[in-house]
Amino acid sequence: MLSYDSAISLKGQTPGSPAISNGHQNIPPSPSTMRLPTSSLSNGVRTNGNVSSSLSKNEQRHIWLVTGPAGCGKSTVAKYLATVLHMPYIEGDEFHPQANIDKMSAGIPLTDADRWDWLTALREASLKELERGNRGVVLTCSALKRKYRDVIRVAPYFSPNLHLHFIYLDASEELLLQRVMARKNHYMGANMVHSQFEVLERPTTDEVDVISIDVSRPAEAVMAEALDRVLDTMETVAAEAQRK
């Protein structure tokens, strides 16, 4: 089970120790410049390991959407990435209308109709963060079906130099059921895990904007891989932009 028992050190600091499925505890904020365990990206190019929060005029911008069923660790991974990369964090669960929360609390699966306005609200919230001058944003959203992911994929049409990426956290139903049963004070009950897997459409190979990560490992391994692949992707995007 993922945990912060051996959390990654962030310039002498370590994140707190919530269970990975808990979306309501915060990783301590990072300083304005942070030394990472791997080289990182600043203003579109690799540097000696420092992440700068400054935004250049022509910098490529990114939406990082951390996805997967309940209990996979979306909030923990997303908060970690947002902290290290100095990007705003959006908790997707907080955008559900009360009617959706009531249904899920009662163990009633959401329908497609229940999700459309929620997905659109998440997309618009991400774009607003970019309009404020942020070079990227990290958000959580289950995005269980391809058509749900497609709603968010519209975002780059509204913003120049914007790139959308999904980070899919992959685990078995049995493992996620154990995690959801162990967490407290969350409206998503254990009975909802099976219903999510019934409708889950895992990303396919033609969804080239998806990064898949196995989350059956310790939290520090998952977060390290997520960060490394995010930085690699940002570097690739920046290099391609420079060639144009």
pLDDT tens-digit readout, 179-188: 888 766 655 5
User: CA 187 to CA 25: how far, in whole Å?
Assistant: 15
pLDDT score at 64: 98
User: CA 119 to CA 125: how far, in whole Å?
Assistant: 10
Domains of the chain: 58-243 (3.40.50.300)
Count other Cβ atoms within 10 Å, centred on residue 178. Answer: 15
User: CA 126 to CA 26: how far, in whole Å?
Assistant: 19
Which residues on neighbouring strands pair with residue 89, listed in sequence order?
138
User: CA 208 to CA 122: how far, in whole Å?
Assistant: 21
pLDDT by residue (tens digit) across 92-145? 989 988 998 888 888 788 889 998 999 999 999 999 999 999 999 999 999 999
CA atoms within 13 A on the CB side of 224: 14
Count other Cβ atoms within 10 Å, centred on residue 212. Answer: 17
Which residues on neighbouring strands pair with residue 61, listed in sequence order?
162
> Which residue do the tokens 């899919």 mark?
168
Contact residues for 174 (Cβ-Cβ < 8 A; gap 6+)? none
The mean pLDDT of the chain is 78
pTM score, whole prediction: 0.75
Percent of the chain with pLDDT over 70: 73
Where is 169: in which H helix or E strand? strand 162-170
